[in-house]
Amino acid sequence: MSAETTIATRSLTKRYGDVLAVDGVELDVRRGEIYGFLGRNGAGKTTTIRMLLGLIRPDRGEVEVLGTRIGASSREVFSHVGYLVESATAYPNLTVRENLDIQRRLTRAPHAAVEEAIEAMRLGEFAARRAGVLSLGNKQRLSLARALLHRPDVLVLDEPANALDPAGIVEVRELLRSLSSEHGVTVFMSSHILGEVAHLADRIGIVSSGRLVEEIDREQLRGRERSHVEIGVSDPVRAATALGQAGFARIERDGEGLRVFDARDRVPEMTRALVSAGLDVTGIAPVREDLESYFLRLTGDGE
């Protein structure tokens, strides 16, 4: 594990009966980055997060957080980690402020931390209200406030946008962005909504049926939004060479055909290059694949 790695997993695997909930996941989350763990319902996000936090034990593989291998004697590292998991519940009969004060004492944070967390999650209006009567969105804010309160170096958040209204989602996004960019906090967050992580994450890991099927960074994400041209051609290998010579830089094999990126406006030129190389063109179609359909295709729902 490099010094820049904050969360690492190796061969992380968990099975529930017949269901392989997490299947050999290898993660390297770098210090200060926002990593979006994206997958559909049941993909294995929560199970992975529970293993990162030592809440359940993997069947195979291992987890390291801040250089500490997670296991029976890894409690100390969690003083540097803030987390929000589905089952996190507040004491319903205590107020928001009292709940946060308990968290403060547990984490030995300074007194001022409670008001700071209330302020950060805009819970001022509700601070004296019992946690049990909060709206779902405000319960989520309280859970986030608890996660942040002791100023952890690492935040592990399972579906942080759950139950938040659109304004709340933007607020949390800005908060996480500033924690990462100004304070070097590493954020690992799961989501089933592409738009949510696409706006925020420096890197996205796409998980499907327990497997990490692809990792993409912000730059690649933008690239994916670009259109490409699908070409059916008699000899794809020779066609790729001919197009390369004609100045087309991004060419991928796609079954019996080719995909050429950044070429939407150059279809005539492309056809000429193929024909003059003596190739038969059986089809040529510009395609615009947005991120959503890309994600659906990767996670097996786009066919």
Q: Which is nearer to ligand ATP, 21 or 96 (CB)?
A: 21
Asked if 138 and 167 count as a contact pair (C-beta separation under 8 A), the reply is: no
Residue 34: how many CA atoms within 13 Å on its side-chain side?
Answer: 23
Residue 205 beta carbon to ligand ATP: minimum distance, rounded to whole angstroms: 12
Residues of this chain that bind ligand ATP (CB under 6 A): 16, 19, 21, 39, 41-47, 192
Strands 68-69 and 81-84 come out as unpaired
- In this structure, what token pair is assigned to residue 87? 């089952």
Q: Which is nearer to ligand ATP, 32 or 44 (CB)?
A: 44
Q: What is the DSSP annotation of 82-126?
A: EEE-TT----TTSBHHHHHHHHHHHHT--THHHHHHHHHTT-GGG
Q: Which is nearer to ligand ATP, 68 or 209 (CB)?
A: 209
Q: Which is nearer to ligand ATP, 35 or 126 (CB)?
A: 35
Q: Which is nearer to ligand ATP, 19 or 128 (CB)?
A: 19
Residue 83 beta carbon to ligand ATP: minimum distance, rounded to whole angstroms: 14
Beta bridge partners of 217: 203
Contacts of 56 (CB under 8 A, 6+ apart): 14, 47, 50
Residue 7 beta carbon to ligand ATP: minimum distance, rounded to whole angstroms: 17
Residue 193 beta carbon to ligand ATP: minimum distance, rounded to whole angstroms: 10
Residue 222 beta carbon to ligand ATP: minimum distance, rounded to whole angstroms: 26
- Residue 260 main-chain phi, psi, to 5 deg: -120, 120
Q: Which is nearer to ligand ATP, 88 or 277 (CB)?
A: 88
Strand order in the sheet with 81-84: 81-84, 154-157, 186-191, 34-39, 203-208, 211-217
Residue 19 beta carbon to ligand ATP: minimum distance, rounded to whole angstroms: 5
Contacts of 48 (CB under 8 A, 6+ apart): 9, 12, 22, 25, 37, 190, 207
